Copies of this chain bind each other. A is one copy, B any other.
């Protein structure tokens, strides 16, 4: 098929182009036959331009234009002229193009939904017709943004001396952490490849190989039961550096975010980012990824309630638990019903209950005040800076649960009370550091690595690996913006003996460790440099910059939370013959 090729895209013409002869290729938006004039919007990824046909002067064109419908693909020739009624809402709104000829390149059936930004259609239908959904300017913008981010990323890390190196997708299964996707081998029936959850071990190998600085924009995979903000395949900006300590990695990342925010938002992000220990983040914000755009810090009340006769609090203290509170300023007028809803919310995070006190128009009430001494109440009020109009929410539970629940409540109250709206265009970057190295898994009665098993303990805590592993802190760091973890990393273990000790702590036998991580243990024997790195969640970075909470808005062909691709029907059944070649059969009746 030959056709007149566009001389301009549909978003570029301005007043000064009046008089130009132009050719467009694009999609028809709307066709409006106003009798005296026929207006046709033509659209491509660059914009929309108004075409005009004058039926009186152009009867043949007018006749042919009757066939045109939304989403037809056409070419159109014509002359640019100023509009009599400018449309200031679009960049091309000062001009229109008087059509001299046009042709249909392809027809379109009536789409199941309109190609507009404000769409009141189920996400399911949009995903099924993703090829139409992706035509909506709001989504197109996200992928143009995403492309910009790729380019900035490639350029930045190249300039910083990083080498992009591809690591394998078909790799060894190392069942530690989340569940692997498996790929059966046809050549070696009974054996499987795994898709990478991260190229962690390969990038460390690259450091052992002397590549000095590595980066890769890389797909990673986790076969988990998905939450609404997760996808089975996601994209990381993965990097690793040799001969570095924590601050060297941080500096590179701070420079990266500064560049991205400057180029995309025109915003100067102050560097270096603030550093907050994991412990402080939990104590003050109840989260290892606190949103620091607003205050509402947690107050720990355990000490001032020490010796209380109120049984609930006294028992908590006796069990080494914590009593803590947030002061929701200005929420003192919350009804009992609203507080009950917050209690239900807290229970979802594991709280057994929610104690509260509030004051509105000088009227004080509380769920627990009557059980406490006057002095205790006063101390609480002082601790949380209680004023008329405030609502104080108190949780008494184990250390981790108390802070986690209050951290969740803090965000929920901020949402309900309008704080989130006020800060939605702010960006607060910071590091969370000094994470515990290990976490004790009660169910499996063993330690698991909080970050991953290759994370180095802090120098001053390495003795603790033998004496009190639970107390050891890791050289790990997360970069957090607006309450979202955009990435995390660590300085790695480069000493083979410490790495072996780490596997031992995690309950691996020597044989286990060798069979699962042998190649990395081997590599560490042959001159591994000190090294560390980090992985950034690219999808989340795009979401943050695009201002969307829906990860499916930034992935071209996303899957549902059960892993379905509604457009193409994946996953799907396959031939018995294929399975036989792979040496596997389906377990029936499941």
Contact = CB atoms under 8 A, between A and B. Distances in A.
B164 A106 contact: no
B565 A171 contact: yes
Interface stretch (A85-93, A393-401, A556-564): A556-564
Interface in A133-171: 134-135, 140, 143-144, 146-147, 150-151, 154-155, 158, 163-171
A85 B45 CA distance: 64
Given A134-B211, A195-B183, A526 B164 contact: no
A202 B568 CA distance: 10
Contacts of A129: 522, 526
A30 to B, nearest CB: 14
Interface in A551-585: 555-557, 559, 562-565, 567-575, 578-585
A484 interface: no
A132 interface: yes
A412 interface: no
A519 interface: yes
Contacts of A523: 131
A175 B232 CA distance: 23
A115 B356 CA distance: 69
Contacts of A193: 570-571
A505 interface: no
A556 B232 contact: no
A181 interface: yes
Interface string A186-229: 11111111110000011001101111100000010101010000
A166 B170 CA distance: 18
Contacts of A155: 151, 154-155
Contact of A170 (B201, B232, B580): B232
Nearest to A133: B209
Given A189-B587, A494-B106, A212 B44 contact: yes
A275 interface: no
B211 A45 contact: yes
A562 B525 CA distance: 28
Nearest to A209: B134
A290 interface: no
Given A523-B131, A572-B192, A586 B583 contact: yes
The secondary structure that dominates the A interface is: loop
Interface string A361-383: 00000000000000000000000
A165 B556 contact: yes
A83 to B, nearest CB: 24
A210 B27 contact: yes
Contact of A151 (B158, B525, B590): B158
A145 to B, nearest CB: 10
Interface stretch (A2-10, A117-125, A336-344, A417-425): A2-10
Contacts of A563: 170, 185, 187-188
Given A163-B144, A183-B195, A529-B106, A171 B570 contact: yes
How many of these chains are in the complex?
Answer: 2
A190 B573 contact: yes
Given A2-B245, A131-B205, A163-B144, A171 B568 contact: yes
Contact of A243 (B5, B171, B557, B582): B5
Contacts of A360: none
A482 interface: no
A81 interface: no
B212 A182 contact: no
A271 to B, nearest CB: 20
Nearest to A235: B166
A18 to B, nearest CB: 25
A185 B225 CA distance: 12
B135 A210 contact: yes
Contacts of A562: 187-188
A527 B108 contact: yes
A483 interface: no
A526 B135 CA distance: 11
B111 A243 contact: no
A494 B527 CA distance: 56
Given A154-B151, A183-B182, A219-B166, A528 B106 contact: yes
Contact of A108 (B172, B525, B555): B525
A571 B150 CA distance: 32
Contacts of A168: 233, 557, 559, 565, 570
A73 interface: yes
17 contacts: A1-B459, A5-B243, A25-B243, A45-B210, A72-B527, A73-B527, A73-B529, A105-B494, A106-B529, A131-B205, A134-B210, A143-B165, A146-B165, A169-B169, A170-B563, A182-B578, A186-B223
Give 3 nearest A-B pairs by CB, closest first: A108-B527, A134-B209, A172-B570
